[in-house]
């Protein structure tokens, strides 16, 4: 038997701030850019009841951890459940089992923030956020730690939701945060654009995206979901979280390819390659860059290990027993 730490969402909710997630996730992507293994998601869809089971994994040798995410969404509960197993990358023993709910928007947001830091212009001062849910909140909370924005504009279809989002962040950030009546109004003049929606069709227009802008899109992890217009993907320096994802489930990339505007070689690099200085990322102030964030084990393992270490320091969680295979299979 080996002791493994079980951590509830409440156990880890207050152990890190957005900047901590960004630091951990940046280092995770650097390791993968230097050759550490990570794979795109595996998604199994169920018809009746409708739902999906998703898994992805990564090994971060320098962190000393490996693991990933397994989550279900839909089915009879019509909800989502996030389970994060974390293993020691040297011994292989299970370190922790985390309820990944509370960390989800922050670890995903941290990947977007790392991309903004690497790909947006240094003088970026205005950000547009399309969407006002938990993921949009996580994206802005983390991205605001790496850029001092003067103005934030948010749009989502429900006025009450976007106004509540704006009021909340206007109190939390030094920037002027406002809710606007359309995506076009949010995007106009923005240096950084974040799309965090559940849309199946583009939520912004290519013509509204100015030269030199950076776009982070994180709601298009399905071949049938494309938050970005094909023309935008085609003219941008396109950087996914994991290169192999582009042709697997990156909906906007696939839509642009289907339209004949790009081919598979349009992937400039993945984020790890940029962070590890194996690709320059942005090369001019006029260049449009796109980060396609579909979710990976990279940010999951990086964030989970950070929370695991802090939980140990704070004496959080509960020890549970795991039986090694040699014992479980032989009964000895």
Residue 272 sits in a domain whose CATH number is 3.40.50.720
> Residue 262 is part of which domain span?
121-292
- The pLDDT tens digits along the chain (332 residues) read 678 999 999 999 999 999 999 999 999 999 999 999 999 989 898 998 888 899 999 999 999 999 999 999 888 877 888 999 999 999 999 999 999 888 999 999 999 999 999 999 999 999 999 999 999 999 999 999 999 999 999 999 999 999 999 999 999 999 999 999 999 999 999 999 999 998 889 999 999 999 999 999 987 777 888 899 999 999 999 999 999 999 999 999 999 999 999 999 999 999 999 999 999 999 999 999 999 998 899 999 999 999 999 999 999 999 998 888 887 666 55
Give the global pTM: 0.95
For residues 148 and 281, state if they share a domain. yes
For residues 229 and 307, state if they share a domain. no
For residues 37 and 130, state if they share a domain. no
Domain count, the chain: 2
Query: What distance in Å separates the CA atoms of residue 54 and residue 147, rounded to the nearest whole number?
Result: 32
For residues 154 and 247, state if they share a domain. yes
In a domain, 113, yes or no: no
For residues 195 and 158, state if they share a domain. yes
Query: What distance in Å separates the CA atoms of residue 264 and residue 31, rounded to the nearest whole number?
Result: 25
Q: Kindly give, in sequence order, each residue whose CB lies less than 8 Å from that of residue 275, ignoring residues fewer than 6 positions away.
A: 26, 29, 30, 33, 114, 118
């Amino acid at each position: 038997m080996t002791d493994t730490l079980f951590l509830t969402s409440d156990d880890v909710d207050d152990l890190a701030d957005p900047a901590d997630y960004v630091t951990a996730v940046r280092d995770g992507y650097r390791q993968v850019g230097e050759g550490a293994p990570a794979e795109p998601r595996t998604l199994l869809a169920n018809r009746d009841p409708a739902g999906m089971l998703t898994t992805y994994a990564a090994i971060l040798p320098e962190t000393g951890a490996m693991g990933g995410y397994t989550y279900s969404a839909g089915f009879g509960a019509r909800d989502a459940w996030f389970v994060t197993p974390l293993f020691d990358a040297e011994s292989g023993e299970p370190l922790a089992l985390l309820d990944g709910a509370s960390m989800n928007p922050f670890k995903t947001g941290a990947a977007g923030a790392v991309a903004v830091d690497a790909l947006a212009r240094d003088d970026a001062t205005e950000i547009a956020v399309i969407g006002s849910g938990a993921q949009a909140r996580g994206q802005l909370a983390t991205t605001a730690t790496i850029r001092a924005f003067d103005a934030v504009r948010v749009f989502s279809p429900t006025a009450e939701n976007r106004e509540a989002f704006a009021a909340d962040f206007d109190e939390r950030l030094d920037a002027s945060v406002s809710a606007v009546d359309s995506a076009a109004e949010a995007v106009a003049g923005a240096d950084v654009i974040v799309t965090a929606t559940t849309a199946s069709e583009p939520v912004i227009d290519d013509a509204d995206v100015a030269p030199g802008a950076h776009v982070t899109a994180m709601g298009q992890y399905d071949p049938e979901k494309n938050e970005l217009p094909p023309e935008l993907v085609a003219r941008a320096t396109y950087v996914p979280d994991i290169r192999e994802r582009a042709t697997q489930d990156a909906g906007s990339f696939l839509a642009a390819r289907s339209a004949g505007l790009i081919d598979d070689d349009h992937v400039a690099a993945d984020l790890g390659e940029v962070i590890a200085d194996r690709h320059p990322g942005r090369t001019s102030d006029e260049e449009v860059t796109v980060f396609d964030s579909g979710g990976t084990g990279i940010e999951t393992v990086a964030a989970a290990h950070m929370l695991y270490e802090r939980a140990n320091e704070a004496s959080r969680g509960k020890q549970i027993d795991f039986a090694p295979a040699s014992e479980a299979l032989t009964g000895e």
